[in-house]
Structure 1
Amino acid sequence: MHWRPWSEEAFRASAESGRPILLFITVGWSRACSSMARTTFGDSKVSALADRECIPVRVDADLRPDVAERYALDGWPTTLLLTDDGEILQGGTYFEPEPLAQLLQRTSASYRAARAEISRRAGVARLDRESHSGPAHAPGSPDPVEDIAAFLLGRSDPTLGGFAGAPKFLHADTAIFFLRCDAPETRAAARLALDAADRALCGPDGAMFRFALGEDWSSAVRELTAENQAAAIRAFAEGSVRLDRRYLGALRRASDFARQAWFEEAGRRSHMARRTPHLAHSPALQTDSGADLAGACLAAARVLDDPELGRASLALLERIALETYLPGRGVRHFDDPSAPVLLADHVATVSALLDAHDATGELPYSMLAEELGRYLIAAFFDEERAAFRDRVHDAHDVGRLSEPAYPYRLNARAAQALGRLGAASSDPALREMAGRVLTWTAAGWREHGLDAASCGIAALDLIDWPNS
């Protein structure tokens, strides 16, 4: 297979050759992705067809979440055939060799035969999508906390914990929101979720697996991400403080594993992966996941009274900032000039820098947080929509990257971060911006399912700060 990166060059080759784009979105920590790459694309018939009939493009979702979020179907892998302007022709998730070979033959032939008409219909679909894009939420409750709590409690599993049905995830934001609501029924729901996650998803070494297949939390899928580890650490830290000190054991194991698995340099991590097989499939850190992990471990260090973990967390955050920060131009998603400039990285880094300032009182952390917060507003805020776009756009965007996206959970987290920053800097303009974005998230929470918890957390924080 002759894979190309997501690029103008790939789409130009598609337009000039009349061949559709074959887009394979993968992640390194998914065994399904590894299996399809090895067996399906390793099949000689499939690889020959793909090279002859298509322009193969491979995207790592951890490195290009902006592409992945616009094209992902029901999970990883996602396998799509696209027009030369990035509209979806056909696709699915996991394909065995023969079904994919048939799809490639059928779709490439129909695309060649009716390319003009297909492109016309795709253009109409794109215009229709653009006309309905963006966060045009109807006015909602100015204080949505009680409504969100009632909604999430209604979705909770009162017997097994988590949320009804399968698979089972921790949903750390929801557990944290329930704990901060501090009502008997929300505390009970948080306890059930944390107990189940500790029992079913937290390995003996502290690795936090993403989910369990069974409704009873059985059959944990042994996939690791730094984002999931960080979220679990925050949830167990919150549970240890607000609910029960017995969660300190899970917090200690999860934070120790994070430090050994992701804080170490590549050579040390490779050695550990040989002793911990499930670590071999976990991704390296990008800016957002690294900052999230550093901030979570700072919270763990405070709860565990572990200065050494705190120092290691600060060192990780400083290393990430040093590698990705460009003065006056924000942070990149990873240490490469070609890396995208993303909202997620700025929200996570501002939040972690504020955590570092809270832990140490040192001014450089809050100064850099304020600089990045102001860049975040200048680069990502859509004044007309009163919400943040997910990325900085440029003239080289291709496919659906040219269309703005307004991620709900990230906007809620941005409101929370800017509210904290406004409190730290005593700048009412930052608090006002936080309030504007929170107003949008509060108006639209019913459309976003369990992600409504992120709005609830931001609302509780913004309510609390004037009195803190």
Structure 2
Amino acid sequence: MDEFASETKVEWREWGPDAFDAAAETGRPVLLALTVPWSAECREMDRRTFGEPRIAANINDGFVPVRVDADRNPRVRERYTMGGFPSTVFLTPDGEVITGATFLGPDGFRGILDSVRESWDAQGAAAGSVPRQLQDEAPPAGDLRPRIEEHMVEQLLGAFDDEFGGWGSDVKFPLPRTVEFALVRARDQATRTLEAIRTHLLDTYDGGFFRYATERNWGNPRREKLLDENAALVRAFAHGYRYTGTEAYRDAAQRTVDYLTTTQWTGEAFAASQAGDDEYYRLEAADREDRTPPHVDETVFADRNGLAVDALLWVTAYTDDERARQYAQRARDAVCDTLVDGGEVAHYDGPASDTGLLLDQARLLQGLTTSWQVLGEPGPARAVADWTIEHRQQDSGAFRDGPDSGAGLCGRSLHPLDATVELADALVDLAALTGEERYHRTALDAVESFAGAAERMGVEVAGYAAVAARLQHPQRLTVGTEAGTDLHRAALRMADHETTVVPDPDGDGTARLLDGDAVVAEGATPAELEGALTGAE
């Protein structure tokens, strides 16, 4: 149970089969409360709604109340969220959805309680339904074609906001993977978006990036700071610096590294999130000194730390930032020591933690392949990849998000696109680093399992088009030295960020850019390599 449950008057149960058995035995619906520790709305609903004695009594008497920390339980989150937090979802004893909503004040909550009771009394279990994304066994498959990348470039052009930067005409999300895709295909869009993010979402005093802006002009930001979102932006700004040399991008990345290694550092790895507090963040810098900063959730999640390791090591690669390197290594080692068992990754260190979730496997693998490229230290990369392929890939080539068992609808198949993209991206790197074609083939099968839907994809999943392009035209820059030499460091800074850099301590001292199996550029010194790569472009 999360630490805020005691602030309410509801007699919460833990998620699991016991709660659904109790619902079946008593003939009552399940009331599922999905909360996160970083949401001010969750705390407000705890106080105003779940803390109201009469509402709590109605819940306790007429429902089986279950409370879930959505960050700690991704499978429950992905199957039941109503699009934001808090999410209140009413379920049948079989886990099917009757109805749900996000934030509800006391009056709105009383209304939905009455509505659910009426539906339940009239229809019983027939009032529930299975969400659409859980009804199909596999995503729409197809073949990879150049058209996938072309379509995404068209989407960028159509959705870009020429006045304010970013994509879309309403709420503005930073979309770091979309920025990375645009850096090599629509650079003006990428740099204008990086400028908007840096100007409006970067906390210039405490550090770190806010989540998103609620207005088209990037105004009125949501103030939460999540590790995964900050790590992804550190990487995007680092890549932006690599392409443009803009010092402001380097500064934004390094200032965020400072935030992650102080405020969000637990002593061993990176903390999950820092809560949003609009009143606190509107204060002038001097006034913040006398206030308690917003709550930090110190849970160490494998997926978010994998992203942080990846991001900090790209900062290291482009800037020689020693602090970023040291903290990336420490976090990588802590996660691998405590959360990895024979290639199976635990979501966090706790008895209730899920293990083998696709997003944990994928993001940690990405951190490990980047560690291999930048430091020459692979860690358990092969073991993590092999376990994931053996236990999560289905006959169709698609990957499940977790095991095929669990309470409610957790046993139903869910094939997450974002996690598949991140896994495939890491597998492309692993294929180049190991020389094992099977990893490339697995990545290809996974990406093709969604190719039938490629023409319907928008800019928010530009990462899919990026990995599709990498699979069709794999490039690797082999460096015939150990990691850390002048030639290797130069290769990291000169390579396109979609090219895998492969240090080879047994090599002949020459760096070679390969497009497939064809050598298109080579050099034995940084200057020779720069000249060769410039001529190859």
Same fold (TM over 0.5): yes
**Structure 2 residue corresponding to 1:39, chosen from 41, 48, 55:** 48
CA distance in 2 between counterparts of 1:214 and 1:264 reads: 33
Q: Are residues 1:159 and 2:175 paired?
A: no
Q: Are residues 1:339 and 2:353 paired?
A: yes
- TM-score when scaled to structure 1? 0.90
CA distance in 2 between counterparts of 1:315 and 1:131 reads: 42
The corresponding residue for 1:403 is: 412
**Structure 2 residue corresponding to 1:390, chosen from 385, 395, 401:** 401
**Structure 1 residue corresponding to 2:314, chosen from 293, 299, 303:** 299
CA distance in 2 between counterparts of 1:425 and 1:416 reads: 15
**Per the alignment, do residues 135 and 104 of structure 1 end up closer, same or farther by CA in structure 2, a change over 3 Å counting?**
same
Q: Is the 8 A contact 1:290 1:317 kept in 2?
A: yes
Q: Is the 8 A contact 2:70 2:77 kept in 1?
A: yes
Q: Gapped runs of 5+ residues in structure 1?
A: none
Q: Is the 8 A contact 1:179 1:243 kept in 2?
A: no
The corresponding residue for 1:59 is: 68
The corresponding residue for 1:352 is: 367
Q: Is the 8 A contact 1:225 1:282 kept in 2?
A: no
The corresponding residue for 2:487 is: none
- Residue 89 of structure 2: SS of its match in structure 1? strand
CA distance in 2 between counterparts of 1:352 and 1:461 reads: 18
CA distance in 1 between counterparts of 2:220 and 2:111 reads: 33
- 1:357 Cα deviation (Å)? 1.6
- 1:160 Cα deviation (Å)? 0.5
Amino acid in structure 1 at the alignment position of 2:266: E
Cα root mean square deviation, aligned: 2.5
Q: Is the 8 A contact 1:53 1:104 kept in 2?
A: no
Q: Is the 8 A contact 2:97 2:130 kept in 1?
A: no
Number of aligned positions between the proteins: 451
The corresponding residue for 1:371 is: 383
The corresponding residue for 1:465 is: 475
- 1:128 Cα deviation (Å)? 8.1
Amino acid in structure 1 at the alignment position of 2:310: G
CA distance in 2 between counterparts of 1:39 and 1:175 reads: 40
- Residue 32 of structure 2: SS of its match in structure 1? strand
**Rg larger in 1 or in 2?**
2
**Structure 1 residue corresponding to 2:138, chosen from 134, 141, 155:** 134
Q: Is the 8 A contact 2:142 2:451 kept in 1?
A: no
Amino acid in structure 2 at the alignment position of 1:374: D
1:45-97 Cα shifts (integer Å, max 9, x gaps) = 11111111111111111101111111111211111111111111122111111
**Per the alignment, do residues 285 and 279 of structure 1 end up closer, same or farther by CA in structure 2, a change over 3 Å counting?**
farther
- Residue 399 of structure 1: SS of its match in structure 2? coil
**Per the alignment, do residues 243 and 22 of structure 1 end up closer, same or farther by CA in structure 2, a change over 3 Å counting?**
same
1:371-409 Cα shifts (integer Å, max 9, x gaps) = 1101010111011x2211111223xx1221121001111
The corresponding residue for 1:217 is: 218
CA distance in 2 between counterparts of 1:140 and 1:357 reads: 28
CA distance in 2 between counterparts of 1:137 and 1:213 reads: 35
CA distance in 1 between counterparts of 2:313 and 2:97 reads: 43
- Where relative contact order (Cα < 8 A, 6+ residues apart) is larger, the structure is 1
Amino acid in structure 1 at the alignment position of 2:474: D
CA distance in 1 between counterparts of 2:269 and 2:401 reads: 33
- 1:141 Cα deviation (Å)? 2.5
CA distance in 1 between counterparts of 2:384 and 2:308 reads: 18
Higher strand share: 2
1:281-313 Cα shifts (integer Å, max 9, x gaps) = 556331101111121111112222112320111
Amino acid in structure 2 at the alignment position of 1:319: A
Instruction: Using the aligned pairs only, state the percent identity.
Output: 28
In the TM superposition, 1:91-102 aligns within 5 A as 91-102=100-111
Q: Is the 8 A contact 2:214 2:220 kept in 1?
A: yes
The corresponding residue for 1:145 is: 149
